[in-house]
Chain A
Amino acid sequence: MNHPLPEPVIDLRRATASLGARPVLRGVDLTVRTGEVVALLGANGSGKSTAVRSVIGQVPLTGGELALFGTEFRRFRDWARVGYVPQRTTAAGGVPATVREVVTAGRLARTKLGILRKADRAAVHRALELVGMADRAKDSVNALSGGQHQRVLIARALAGEPELLIMDEPMAGVDLASQEVLAAALREQVGRGSTVLLVLHELGPLEPLIDRAVVLRDGCVVHDGPPPEAVGQHALPGHDHVHPHADAAAEPIRTGLLS
Chain B
Amino acid sequence: MEILDYAFMQRALIAALIVGITAPAIGIYLVQRRQALMGDGIGHVALTGVGLGFLLNTSPVWVATAVAVAGSVVMELIRWYGRTRGDLALAMLFYGGMAGGVMLMNLSDAGSNANLGTYLFGSITTVSPQDMTTIYVLAALVLAITVGLRRQLFAVCQDEEFARVTGLPVRLLNLLVAVTAAVTVTVAMRVVGLLLVSALMVIPVAAAQQISRSFAVTFATAVAIGVAVTVTGTTTSYYVDVPSGATIVLFAIGLFVVFTALAAPLAKKRARDAAQASRGCTLEVPGSRGATDDVSVAG
Chain A residues with a Cβ under 8 A of chain B:
56-58, 77-80, 82, 84, 86, 91, 93-98, 101-102, 104-106, 108-109, 111, 114, 116, 138-140, 143, 156, 160, 175-177, 179-181, 184, 256
Contact = CB atoms under 8 A, between A and B. Distances in A.
B13 to A, nearest CB: 29
Contacts of A139: 213
Interface of B: 28, 31-34, 36, 149-152, 154-155, 157-159, 161-168, 205, 209, 212-216, 218, 284, 286-287
B167 A109 contact: yes
Given A79-B167, A96-B218, A177-B284, A101 B154 contact: yes
B151 A84 contact: no
Contacts of A184: 287
Given A105-B151, A114-B151, A95 B31 contact: yes
A86 B213 contact: no
A102 B286 CA distance: 25
A77 B32 contact: no
Contacts, number: 104
B198 to A, nearest CB: 15
Nearest to B31: A94
- Pick the 5 closest A-B CB pairs, nearest first: A79-B167, A180-B287, A114-B151, A140-B213, A105-B155
A187 to B, nearest CB: 12
A96 B154 CA distance: 11
Contact of A93 (B32, B152, B164): B32
Contacts of B36: 94
B155 A108 contact: yes
Contacts of B151: 104-105, 108, 111, 114, 116
A256 B285 CA distance: 13
A97 B284 CA distance: 27
B159 A93 contact: yes
Nearest to B156: A105
Given A86-B159, A93-B158, A95-B28, A177 B209 contact: no
A57 B157 CA distance: 19
A97 B165 contact: no
Nearest to B212: A96
Contacts of A177: 284, 286-287
A126 B205 CA distance: 31
B218 A95 contact: yes
A56 B165 contact: yes
A82 B165 contact: yes
B214 A138 contact: yes
Given A108-B151, A114-B152, A96 B214 contact: yes
B218 A138 contact: no
B209 A95 contact: yes
A108 to B, nearest CB: 6
Nearest to A100: B214
A79 B167 CA distance: 5
A82 B166 CA distance: 7
A98 B215 contact: yes
Contacts of B209: 95-96
Nearest to B154: A105
B286 A79 contact: no
A79 B163 CA distance: 10
Contact of B159 (A105, A114, A180): A105
